[in-house]
Structure 1
């Protein structure tokens, strides 16, 4: 009985121990399931993929004609290469069909792709109990596995990544392997000539650009950087971000700054306040948020909140002037910050 643990799969893929048999690749991460199945297939195809005979079936095809899987597995390749049969969407309905191949796969490699299977699932139980069966679980990436994948991808392409690139990618990417691979491919293509990546490259190429530019607007306003504010506003409005949405985000931002400032006024350090904040600010913004908490007094933040409130009301009464009202208000707040 061979039931691999999730953390053992990557090592196993480097040296699979069967020359024939059934491989069940399963788990909730569909992207990782596909990637693992493809790695198995590439291994068994060897250096000359053309010599191997690969047949791909959908589980629905096997359900409609249960004999097709055995026929394909036992068919001799015209070119004498290894016979590989891949079945997508495998489920327990295949158990009866696989029973006759479990102990005698006729020299074929059978790769089954399935979703998340419980320990007592009939298909999983059959493969795990088979002498010529291997079950490979695929679960969502952890911080550790994601970091390893990022470093491995860049090292393979000889790309030098700045120290904070891996941490930024961990924060930006989700835990779906297929999405992660697409984003990493995008970054390696971008850095194909320069062979270098910075945190800014990652944020521009992979982050939610709308969210990123809004953060830039808020932080430029709160720290008194008028030129940066103007550039970010032009980008946001040019991308059809609603001015009223930006005013709402500004109100939320300055209200949060005022709450944090209140905690600082009781004797806490700005860094301690930010570290205990929930939700916790993105690590890339901690320094500039700390600067804003120190820069603005409670009374100045109260004034800022009132200005944004009046601007919001005006933009609702006169929607055609919403952009002008937004620009005027944020620039006024930016000048307040610069004057401190």
Structure 2
């Protein structure tokens, strides 16, 4: 089993990167997963924005053509050197493509991002036994990790913090590494020109992101909780989350509910459908999805998917690009109203 511990990244780059075929970075903290993927891509390719050095794919890009992954790993770089094939939302399509990678001809490095993966997940079963495939498990930040993050973001800018301030920050941060960094960056900007951060500064600037994640938004939307959906969207937007990214995750959520709903319509109870889902659903999310799969029927989920698709297309048009936030916000509130209507219909 080839496990890349992040503290050993430099060693990996010196000794093992040239023979590695792919690195799978996964875990419940999407911010940490993305941050480490970016660091690895930059370490190999020198940039994340150079189209000649970095090829970006989504799991859906491989769904109809798994061999494309192999084609990209064997493609020559325009400027010489090794390229990176960066795969986001790695799932079932990526799992079908991985066995096509040849161990003795690694080619360009594949860096893949995934969410929570159970021990029996197909991707872990493929990666863990293979010497040329590496895994990077990412877990939610511990207090020690958050202390280190505070040092990186505040102490490095010559902003001193006392124990009370650091503890207040630790209590507020933690759900998502990217959001935690953004909160600390806002705090550093607020305290620009000073030498110390006070508790009043923390209270004035930092929102409570420890309990806020994209899941909070999606749960509120698909539960029909309009006020909660509105608040979650605004806070995620203010923290820097892109509308396109939120819509993509909403599309994935709707697709998962659709698969679960098919199982229910074939005779399973919502509880059984969620418990037996593959890939497994994170245990904290199981009660939520059980509730939602009972609330939504197949026809309404199709309507929800179409609504998300229209909003996604609108955000990609040049004319409407300046209205991305408004389009995304409207789409989420429309979805929440649709869920709320189903709740009322169920009660009646």
Range class of TM-score, shorter chain: 0.5 to 0.7
Q: How far is 1:105 from its partner?
A: 4.9
Q: Please list, as runs of the form range in 1=range in 2, the aligned pairs for 1:171-210 lying within 5 A after superposition.
A: 171-207=171-207
* Contact in 2 for aligned 1:87/1:113 (Cα 8 Å): yes
Q: Please list, as runs of the form range in 1=range in 2, the aligned pairs for 1:292-311 lying within 5 A after superposition.
A: none
Partner of 2:9: 13
RMSD: 2.3
User: Counterpart of 1:145 in 2: which secondary structure?
Assistant: helix
Q: How far is 1:153 from its partner?
A: 2.2
Larger Rg: 1
Q: How far is 1:189 from its partner?
A: 2.1
Q: How far is 1:48 from its partner?
A: 11
TM-score (norm 2): 0.54
User: Counterpart of 1:68 in 2: which secondary structure?
Assistant: helix
User: Counterpart of 1:130 in 2: which secondary structure?
Assistant: coil
Partner of 1:22: 22
1:161 aligned to 2:161?
Answer: yes
User: Counterpart of 1:201 in 2: which secondary structure?
Assistant: helix
Provide closer, same or farther for how the CA distance between residues 52 and 78 of structure 1 changes in structure 2, counting only shifts above 3 A.
closer
TM-score (norm 1): 0.55
Partner of 2:75: 75
Q: Which runs of 5+ in 1 are unaligned?
A: 209-340
* Contact in 2 for aligned 1:26/1:113 (Cα 8 Å): yes
1:245-269 alpha-carbon deviations (Å, 9 max, x no partner): xxxxxxxxxxxxxxxxxxxxxxxxx
User: Counterpart of 1:28 in 2: which secondary structure?
Assistant: coil
Provide closer, same or farther for how the CA distance between residues 200 and 53 of structure 1 changes in structure 2, counting only shifts above 3 A.
same
Q: How far is 1:33 from its partner?
A: 0.9
Alpha-carbon distance in 2 for matches of 1:15, 1:158: 30
Provide closer, same or farther for how the CA distance between residues 10 and 187 of structure 1 changes in structure 2, counting only shifts above 3 A.
farther
* Contact in 1 for aligned 2:63/2:93 (Cα 8 Å): yes
Q: Which runs of 5+ in 2 are unaligned?
A: 209-348
Alpha-carbon distance in 1 for matches of 2:155, 2:117: 34
Provide closer, same or farther for how the CA distance between residues 181 and 90 of structure 1 changes in structure 2, counting only shifts above 3 A.
same
1:84 aligned to 2:84?
Answer: yes
Q: Which segment drifts farther, 63-72 or 192-201?
A: 192-201
Provide closer, same or farther for how the CA distance between residues 53 and 204 of structure 1 changes in structure 2, counting only shifts above 3 A.
same
